[in-house]
Chain A
Amino acid sequence: MKLMGMTITEKILAKHAGRDEVHPGELLNCRVDVVLGNDVTTPVAIEEFEKLQADRVFDRTRVVIVPDHFTPNKDIKSAEQAKGVRDFARKHGIVNYFEIGRMGIEHCLLPQEGLVLPGDLIIGADSHTCTYGALGAFSTGVGSTDMAAAMATGEAWFKVPETIKFVFRGELPPYVGGKDLILRVIGDIGVDGARYMAMEFTGPVISSLSMDNRFTMANMAIEAGGKNGIFAPDEITLDYVRGRNKREYTLYYSDADAQYAEIREYDVTNMEPVVAVPHLPENVRNVSEVAGTSIDQVVIGSCTNGRIEDLEMAAGILRGRRIHPEVRLIILPGTQEIYLEALRKGFIEIFIEAGAAVSTPTCGPCLGGHMGILARGERALATTNRNFVGRMGDPQSEVYLSSPVVAAASAIKGAITPPWEVK
């Protein structure tokens, strides 16, 4: 009997549940390949893990812990949290615990280190764990208790999600990239438009999109309520993965007769770069509609846009220029490796000469932790992923979201600026 066509998401879930076939709505118990936590979510997971009285984690090479949110420790309490996480990692011999100076923002770091691979099933106690779907993996965010249970058992339960397919055709205009595509999608379907669902990104535009742009898109699936964002692996994926992977991996593809809850088509040819205005990522406008909005701070970095191509885009705009005297520009390379590559390519020199502060990798300002908190009434343009009330500081501050190109151009002008106006 021929099985019904399945999506890439359904195939990965089926494989990890030891099944030949699964259908949306079914509840499964799955084996997980990687369990991830950070310095904010792991402390709660450790408390829950200890309630289980497990002697050890299920596999000390597959539990990954990255202190990246409030590190380098921003105050005594966060230092205590980081210490608790470090002590746990040492006690359990966690191989992939990444200390300050060798770490990175988790979702930039894990792919770089080859710890997450195509065909994997990954859970992380961080909502942006959906980033790894860019590699053709099923990857989703969970809470600390799920992390604790999976650290002990190597398993987690899932409801098989329905899938929405997004097809991108046409030719990407200059200055338009992955950030604009995903913000456009979120603007169209809303912050709960893909709630509980898989978001599958396909089409000729995607086939020629770089890995860094794909990571940016998968990263923000959660901003539409998505369970996971996913891309079929191709040569671009394999070029990225080869040389990083330390174990085998499997490539999965959606069948031609796979079932979708919806198929949405986009022609990108006439797209403009976009900006999400406060206080939801779905409030998407063309950059020209909000041009001239004054800004106090620009942040370039985060798990969304802290990779080398993001820094390259920013450097391309900032080269030989000074930023506006009334703007603070904070640039956070996603990992130490990215930082070093940016240094070798001369980007860091460009940033500092432009008047930017460049920091060691941290999530810091993205979630209003440290390294760039906004005062009451201040406004930031950031390449991050959320513009909720109080996200970067005072509840009466504002965050606008954009790509690194628009962020860099706006830093120069001191107001939101279409990138072609500074070229």
Chain B
Amino acid sequence: MKLTGKVHKFGSDVDTDAIIPARYLNTSDPAELARHCMEDADPAFPSQVKQGDIIVADKNFGCGSSREHAPIAIKAAGVSCVIARSFARIFYRNSINIGLPILECPQFIDEVEAGDKLEVDLVRGEIKNLSRGKTYLAEPFPGFMQDIIDKGGLINYVREKVR
């Protein structure tokens, strides 16, 4: 599957309170969460983000709380993929579990700017920066995690165990 979108760039240690502040956690409605996505990191983000856009961040993206509302808000805001130098552990796990595509690619992060247009091939882990004419390969997922991703998330993955 190929994704294309425009880059919204963020720095290091973007925490889950910035991704979706706790004052909005009295609901789990994805559309409502999406209206406040990234609000405390960039108040303009919810109004500016377009379907397919890509969040790009430096190290430790999604640190802090375990709230799954964070990847849910990002996905519901129309973001097609998050690419970071590194992810905080629980955010990483939650994203895989709910089927939000995430990629780690330090060299790409060094060379990308806000507004760049990207084409991402999730199957090959390939990131093309169309604005700069450069191509990068993201870190591959371990086979077991790729399995969860291929099945569309953890719930589909464990379904056969429950039956």
Is A177 in the interface zone, CB < 8 Å from B? Answer: no
CB neighbours (8 Å) of A280 from chain B are: 13
Known contacts A126-B65, A153-B162, A159-B142; 14 additional CB pairs below 8 A are A41-B68, A44-B72, A74-B26, A125-B68, A127-B64, A127-B90, A191-B13, A192-B60, A192-B88, A195-B89, A368-B21, A386-B15, A389-B18, A391-B17
| Pairwise interchain contact A78-B63, C-beta atoms closer than 8 A | no
| Pairwise interchain contact A388-B18, C-beta atoms closer than 8 A | yes
| Pairwise interchain contact A192-B28, C-beta atoms closer than 8 A | no
Can you show 29 pairs from A to B with CB atoms below 8 A apart? Answer: A27-B142, A40-B67, A44-B68, A69-B22, A125-B68, A127-B64, A127-B65, A141-B66, A143-B68, A143-B90, A145-B68, A145-B97, A145-B155, A146-B94, A146-B97, A149-B97, A149-B155, A153-B161, A155-B161, A159-B142, A191-B13, A192-B59, A195-B88, A225-B63, A368-B23, A386-B15, A386-B65, A389-B40, A390-B17
| Pairwise interchain contact A41-B13, C-beta atoms closer than 8 A | no
Q: Categorize the interface residue count of chain A.
A: 35 or more
CB neighbours (8 Å) of B75 from chain A are: none
Complex CA gap A1/B144 in Å reads 30
Interface positions of A from 15 to 68, Cβ below 8 Å from B: 27, 40-41, 43-44, 47-48, 51-54
Set B28, B64, B68, B89: member contacting A227, Cβ < 8 A: B89
Enumerate chain B interface residues (CB-CB to A < 8 A): 13, 15, 17-18, 21-23, 25-28, 40-41, 59-60, 63-69, 72, 86, 88-90, 93-94, 97-98, 142, 144, 153-155, 158-159, 161-162
A129 shortest CB reach to chain B, Å: 8
CB neighbours (8 Å) of A54 from chain B are: 162
| Pairwise interchain contact B155-A51, C-beta atoms closer than 8 A | yes
Closest to B98 in A: A145
Is A137 in the interface zone, CB < 8 Å from B? Answer: no
Q: Mark A378-405, 1 if CB is under 8 A from B, else 0.
A: 0000000010111100010000000000
